[in-house]
Structure 1
Amino acid sequence: MMARFVSVSSPQFHFCFREFPPPSSNLYPRRFEVSDRRFTVIPIKCSSTEPENSEDSAPSLSSSSSSSSSSTSEVSVNSSIYNWYTGIGGIGMLDTAYLTYLKLTGSDAFCPVGGGTCGDVLNSDYAVVFGVPLPVIGFVMYGLVTALSAQLGEGNLPYGISKSNGRFALFGITTAMASASAYFLYILSTKLSGSSCLYCLVSAFLSFSLFFLSIKDVKLQEIQQVIGLQICLAIIVVASLTASYSTAQPSPSRSGDIELPYYTTEITTSSSPNAIALAKHLNSIGAKMYGAFWCSHCLEQKEMFGREAAKLLNYVECFPEGYKKGTKIFKACADARIEGFPTWIISGQVLSGEVELAELAEMSGFSLDQANETIQLQ
């Protein structure tokens, strides 16, 4: 049996085992001789109190700090992008909500000078997709973008949807919107040439802006994974719109292409005493209403006053000799820089579009007491 001795060195305790030949009493008279019993040697590992790799630990902390800073910066950038999504989506909702109101109520938008109007577009066959008004579809899509981007910004998606899937969903929605907007611009320039729709152009600009934001949000490597799906989605959108518009007829006439002789319009409503008193007051302070004989909103404004009161208004016709391509607006309207009909100018303040009688009274400083006095005098 061979004996094992343990040697200890400091300051770090290194254990080593040495083997010796069988003990001899002549050579080692005082060395302890091990019997046949076996002793279990328990290995012990000791280390000094000072870290062996103190230089390596510092870079680890620095790396962790750098990683945390990078993560914080990325979260901040993403939050800023989603704020842009939410803001643009909100503007789109306002734009399409106004168009939806016009479409559902049968009203016409603010009449521009020359060319067609937004009403030409809204009342055309291209303003409906499979029986659903186009502005309603736009409002829903902008609402989805606004809601989804707000939840992505907060990192709180419903139904257990991951943030990655939420971003891809947003990318898909904006792709569909941009594809539809591109198709509508094509329709506007070909089938509805001569008509202008500022609200439609604004909506298209917002859709393209959201699409480019989504490209920035989704990394290039991720786009390559879904590019085929996005192309298919765009094709489906265009094909659906084409199928819906297969029976649509282009608008046969545009105000820029036709000759329109001047004609008078008949007012069917009767005037109330207050409306007559307000019309007299507006005339007395020099308030003017600028309009065009073909403008439906001008007629509706006069209907608010009624037959008797409308005759008392200081009304300026901007096309007294009729309208045709190349006809210049009446000089008084040009000097007043009239850009749409009807337009009110009251004490230097400009009001565009139809205005309620109560608002006209407030703007002109007309009170109910004055109305009562005028009625009593009559």
Structure 2
Amino acid sequence: MTKSVVAATKTPGLVLGLALLGTTLTGYLTVTHYLQAQPLFCTGQGTGCDLVLNSEYATLGGLPLTALGFLTYGALALLAGWVALASPTVQTERWPKIAWPVFLVSGAGTLFSGYLLFLLATVLRSPTGDLVFCPYCLTSAATMTGIWVLNLAGHSWEDGGKLWSNGVVLVAVMAVALTVIRGEQEQAIAVNHSFAGQLAQHLQTTNVKMYGAFWCPHCREQKAAFGEAAALVPYVECDPRGEKAQAALCQTKNIRSYPTWEIDGQLVEGARSLTDLAKLTGYQG
């Protein structure tokens, strides 16, 4: 049996398996994002994958990156499934036809995963300044890279020059795209953080308090709205199991839901936008 036949009968199944793993992973994270639930294995303390998934870098054009990943893995699963679920003879015919689509899609996904890992290693930090560990990010990056490697090794690329030239073009296009994306993200974050940081300091000086619990998804969402200024938010932990908990104070204040803001002695329940908080606290900017 030739290498191409072996690849056509085994590799598509492996690619399909990895694509389904990626689809399941990103689909799960997308659902938890919209349900504002805490994913498994996240600490909920703003030091791990919860910080990453709620950061400003976790969305693109208003859409969570997990949803974009779900669509990408889904497309790869459809391509691989079209081959893997066919008979061996049909697989041999179909396998070469998906070589370039899978090469381009998984290649772009691998490069984008590299960009996200770069952010994870150099930009994102816990409130104490430590590196953050995101098992979901690492798993997705490894999965996408695995698909790209399997596709690259599983085909008999007759035109090596075309392979190299297309690879260079793909890298160049992604480099430009990532540069534009990074620039827009940094510009938006700079504006938001400038306002958020000043607002958080205003909340401190006016004795405003945010009452919450470490496991509360709406509390994480509220903190995430402040970006890197989240550490400046005058936060009170109400769950006795949480870090630096002040459960007695929360009981004294009759806190019934999370998050709850205390502004001028009045309790305001629910997460609020930064603009709303500015109005409620009299912040002029």
TM-score range, shorter chain: 0.5 to 0.7
Report the equivalent of 1:165.
97
Larger fraction in helix: 2
* Counterpart for residue 105 of structure 1: 35
Residue 98 of structure 1 deviates from its aligned partner by: 1.0
1:116 to 38, 41, 47: 47
1:270 aligned partner: none
Give the distance between the partners of 2:136 and 2:81, measured in 1 at CA.
25
Q: Which amino acid aligns with 1:171?
A: F
Equivalent position SS for 2:183: coil
Aligned residue type for 1:186: F
Picking from 125, 128, 139, the partner of 2:56 is 125
Compare relative contact order (CA 8 Å, sep 6+) and give the higher one, 1 or 2: 2
CA gap of 1:175–1:109, structure 2 versus 1, over 3 A, is same
Give the secondary-structure state (helix, strand or coil) at the position aligned to 1:246: helix
> Given the alignment of the two structures, is residue 207 of structure 1 paired with residue 139 of structure 2, yes or no?
no
- Aligned pair partner of 1:147 in 78, 85, 94: 78
Seen in structure 2, the aligned counterparts of structure 1 residues 77 and 165 have a Cα distance that, compared at 3 Å, is closer
In the TM superposition, residue 100 of structure 1 has moved relative to its aligned partner by: 0.9
2:184 alignment partner, SS class:
coil
**Per-residue Cα deviation, 1:208-259 (whole angstroms, up to 9, x for no partner):** 1111111211335444322111221122223223312323238979xxxxxx
> Alignment length, in residue pairs?
201
The AA in structure 2 aligned to 1:245 is: R
- Which residue does the alignment assign to 2:216? 296
- Call closer, same or farther: CA 1:265–1:104 in 2, change over 3 Å: same
Q: Which residue does the alignment assign to 2:228?
A: none
* CA-CA distance at 1:180 after TM superposition: 0.8
SS in 2 for 1:116: coil
Q: How does 1:269-348 map to 2 (within 5 A)?
A: 293-296=213-216, 317-319=240-242, 321=244
Contact 2:38 2:44 in 1 (8 A): no
Bigger-Rg structure (1/2): 1
What is the DSSP-based 3-state SS (H/G/I as helix, E as strand, rest coil) of the residue aligned with 1:295? coil
2:249 paired residue number: none
Q: Distance in 2 between matches of 1:74 and 1:165?
A: 13
* 1:188 correspondence with 2:120: yes
> Contact 1:117/1:196 (CA < 8 Å) preserved in 2?
yes
Structure 1 residue runs of 5 or longer lacking an equivalent are 1-69, 254-262, 267-292, 301-315, 324-378
* Residues in 2 aligned to 1:299 and 1:205: alpha-carbon distance in whole angstroms: 31
- 1:135 aligned residue: 66
| Structure 1 match to 2:109 | 177
Identity %: 21
Mapped to 2, the partners of 1:175 and 1:196 lie a distance apart of: 24
Q: Any conservation in 1 of the 2:8–2:95 contact (CA below 8 Å)?
A: no
Q: 2:154 aligns with which of 217, 223, 238?
A: 217
The structural deviation recorded for 1:156 is 5.4
Amino acid at match of 1:296: C
1:78 aligned partner, one-letter code? A
Paired amino acid for 1:85: V
Change (3 A) 1:162 1:320: closer
Corresponding letter in the other structure for 1:123: N
Native 8 Å contact 1:93 1:143 kept in 2: yes
Query: 2:43 touches 2:50 (CA, 8 Å); kept in 1?
Result: no
CA RMSD of aligned residues (A): 3.5
Displacement, 1:79?
Answer: 1.3
The two structures have a TM-score, normalised by structure 2, of 0.59
2:76–2:105 contact (8 Å) kept in structure 1:
yes
Does structure 2 retain, via aligned residues, the 8 Å contact 1:129–1:241? no
**Preserved CA contact (<8 Å) 2:4 2:156:** no
Residue 235 (structure 1) aligns with: 172
Structure 2, unaligned stretches of length 5 or more? 126-130, 197-208, 221-238, 247-285
For the Cα contact (< 8 Å) 1:130–1:244, is it kept in 2? no
SS at match of 1:247: helix
Give the distance between the partners of 1:137 and 1:264, measured in 2 at CA: 33
Could you tell me how far 1:197 is from its partner in structure 2?
1.9
DSSP-derived class of the 2:132 partner? coil
Instruction: Please say if 1:82 is aligned against 2:42.
Output: no
